[in-house]
Amino acid sequence: MPVGTAASVKTLDADDLRNLGTQIILGNTYHLYLRPGTEIIRNAGGLARFNGWRGPTLTDSGGYQVFSLKELRKITEDGVKFQSNLDGSYHMFTPERTIDIERDIGADIIMPLDVCVEYPTTHSEADRAERQTFRWAERAKKHWETNPRRQILFGIVQGSVFPDLRKRGAEALVELDFPGYAIGGLSVGEPKTEMMPIIELMDECLPQNKPRYLMGVGTPADIVRGIGKGVDMFDCVLPTRNARNGSVFTRHGTMSVKSAAYSCDYRPIDEECGCLCCHGYSRAYLRHLLNVNEIAGLRLLTIHNLYLYLELVSHARQAILSDEYDVFERRFFADYNEEIES
C-alpha cells in the first residue's frame, strides 16, 4: 500500500497510481486532522474524492506519532495530548475521537489509537504500552460499533520484541473479534533477527481467516519473508522516500542512481522491468535529472520503486494461488542481495 501521509503519494498523482496497479493507498489521521482539516475532507466526500484517487483507502490512527513525536505528546488513560508540530497548538486524541476523525476522513479501513514504543525499551514499558493499547482498542471498537459506516476497524497488536506481551495482546484482541488485525510497533529500530520471530509468532496467534497487516514494513526482502509468515498487507515509506533520495530497488538489491558510475550508462535501471521509467529512460539521464534537481527524476524513480513493490506482491500472490510460494521465495533470495539493501 503506497503511503500518502498528507493525502498525496509524493511526486505522483492518482493516475500514476492507477497505472501502476495500486489497489489501496494510506493516509495519516494525525497529519490530515491538522492539515487540511477533517471538515474540508468530509465536505469533499471523503479522502478518496478529495485527492482524486477514487479507490480504497486506509488511515493510521496517529499511534505512530506517539512514537515519532514523543517530545510533543503526553499519554494519559484518556488518550494522547499532542502539541502540533505546525503551530504549537494542543489537540487531544482519545480512542473515540480518533474513530470520529477517521469517519470524517472516510477511509475504508481504519485503525484504533494505540501506543507504539521505541526500541530499545524495557519489558515493563512495553507491558504498559500493550495494556494501554488494549484498553483503548476496547473503547474504540465499542464506539465504532455504534455507527460502523461500512468502515473496517482493525485491532493493533503491540508488545515490542517481547513474545509474552505480543501473545497476550494478540489473544486479547482476538477475543474482541475485530474484522482484521495489524501488527504494530515493528521496524522502529530493532534488528531483523528480533522482528521476524515476532511476525512468525503472530502467524500462530492471529486468525487464519482474517487479514493481517504488518505496519510500516519494509524492504522487498522483509515483504517476501512476511508473506511467507502469513502477512497479507504492508505499507512502507521506503519505496517513495528512497526514490526521492536517488536510491532505487531492483531485483538484485538497491542502486544509488546518483553514483558517478552511471554518468555515461545508457542502460535502464533494470532491462527486465516493465515500468515507465525503465521503458524510456537511461541511468545516465536519471542521474542527470537528480544532479540538476529536476522533479521529473524523483517522479520517475518513485514510479520504478512502486512498480517493483507492486509487481513483487502480485507475483507472490500468484505463487500462493499456485501453491508454489516456497519456490518463489527461494528464487527471490537467489537473486536479491540484502547486503546492498538500504
How many whole angstroms separate alpha carbon 94 and alpha carbon 235?
24
Q: Is 327 in contact with 319 (CB distance < 8 Å)? A: yes
Q: With H, G, I as helix, E, B as strand and everything else as coil, classify residue 271.
A: coil
15 catalytic? Reply is no
From residue 234, alpha-carbon distances to 42, 191, 285 in Å are 26, 18, 32
Edge to edge, the sheet with strand 90-93 lists 73-75, 80-83, 90-93
In one-letter notation, the amino acid at residue 289 is L
Residue closest to 298 by CA, chosen among 20, 6, 15, 11? 11
Catalytic residue among 104, 222, 235, 270: 235
How many whole angstroms separate alpha carbon 34 and alpha carbon 36?
6
Q: Is the dihedral of CA 67, 69, 70, 73 positive or negative?
A: negative
How many whole angstroms separate alpha carbon 279 and alpha carbon 307?
12
60 catalytic? Reply is yes
The grid coordinates of residue 298 equal 524523483
Residue closest to 101 by CA, chosen among 164, 158, 149? 149
Catalytic residue among 15, 60, 203, 326: 60
∠ CA(239), CA(197), CA(241), 5° rounding?
A: 10
Residue closest to 24 by CA, chosen among 219, 189, 235? 235
H helices of 56-151, where? Answer: 63-68, 95-105, 123-145
CB environment 233-250: b (16+ within 10 A), e (fewer)? bbbbebbbebbbebbbbb
Neighbours of 97 (CB within 10 A): 17
The residues annotated as belonging to the active site are: 60, 235
